[in-house]
Structure 1
């Protein structure tokens, strides 16, 4: 079985698309290494923030209930504009947000050890590490290694192999 299987066709905004995004977000947590000191204790949860997508947050809560990533429980936190990103390990920024609001979230995470994920156009230019894209009616993802390096995160080679595209770090 593939680590990141290509799921059934999904139409933008559909329940199936939210389910697939939630499954990917859950899976991503197991394929990222955060720097030492990112967690207060060995059993501290991986906190996944969701900005601008309450329906996805609901789906993600159902997907992570009772599960863990690398021995850590998973916790979902809904974020409202202006809230702090302190304590987050992952942040999903929805395309439903206006560009200025999405940029605020990405800027707040800059230099922090936060895996930023978005489905917004131009999200990698804003600093997102992972971007969801629709290809042939299938949800896929792209990874920006430069943005991951800036966040001091290491992405598993297995996850990179499953990505549609990997933007390499400029040398």
Structure 2
């Protein structure tokens, strides 16, 4: 298991320093994690978890953050609610990783928790659960919200994980991104399976 963790960390580091090559190749840097996990006899759920965690980290580099975020200093924060498997994976692979020269931290979220210091929030589970969280989250500026449910974008999230042909991908909402004061990179949008345009 220790060898698996070390390999994942090396893969994630290579992805984070690989420059801004073609969008699909860059974002798909997450996929070798899944391939290795499969060779290590990991179940499908573990493979999906590894890919989602890697995507969450990589997404930080594909958002045009407002100056207030980039000049604010301090670490980038990822909050995770109702997705303990993804949380644990992030806790394993994030130590030592940086985005825009700043460390990346992750923490578990429960209802009523403060959102200070967070830039990305993943809400796992059903669309009903996601909708409950999104009522609060979508009112918070400069927060990239990610759901993991069928019809997740309908809750107001910016991104939503979906499974397509056995692979974890994502869909995006330009309207939700605009409301959050965020601009998604064209490289990110180029590899989304679906992009909802602004109304």
What TM-score, normalized by structure 1, do the two folds share? 0.87
Larger proportion of strand: 1
Q: For 2:197 and 2:105, how far apart are their aligned partners in 1?
A: 30
Question: Residues of 2 paired with 1:104 and 1:71: CA distance?
Answer: 34
Match of 1:83 in 2: 113
The structure where helix makes up a greater share of residues is: 2
Indicate whether 1:72 and 2:107 are aligned: no
Question: Which has the higher relative contact order, 1 or 2, with Cα contacts under 8 A spaced 6 or more apart?
Answer: 1
* Aligned twin of 2:52: 21
2:133 maps to 105
- Map residues 1-171 of structure 1 onto 2, 5 A cutoff: 2-5=25-28, 7=31, 14-38=45-69, 41-42=72-73, 44-95=74-125, 99=128, 101-112=129-140, 113-170=142-199
Distance verdict in 2 for CA 1:161–1:12, change over 3 Å: farther
Is the contact between residue 172 and residue 189 of structure 2 (CA under 8 Å) also seen in structure 1? yes
Determine helix, strand or coil for the equivalent of 1:38: helix
Q: Give the match's secondary structure for 1:60.
A: helix
Which secondary structure state, in structure 2, belongs to the residue aligned with residue 91 of structure 1?
strand
Tell which structure's C-alpha radius of gyration is larger. Answer: 2
RMSD of the alignment, in Å? 2.3
State the alpha-carbon separation in 2 of the partners of residues 131 and 84 from structure 1. Answer: 23
Long gaps (5+) in structure 1: none
Give the count of matched residue pairs.
167
Q: Using a 3 Å threshold, how does the CA distance of structure 1 residues 117 and 154 change in structure 2: closer, same or farther?
A: same
86-95 vs 17-26, which moves further: 86-95
Q: How far apart are 1:107 and its partner, in Å?
A: 1.4
Structure 1 window deviating more from structure 2 (54-63 vs 10-19): it is 10-19
Segments of structure 2 that go 5 or more residues without pairing to the other structure are 1-20
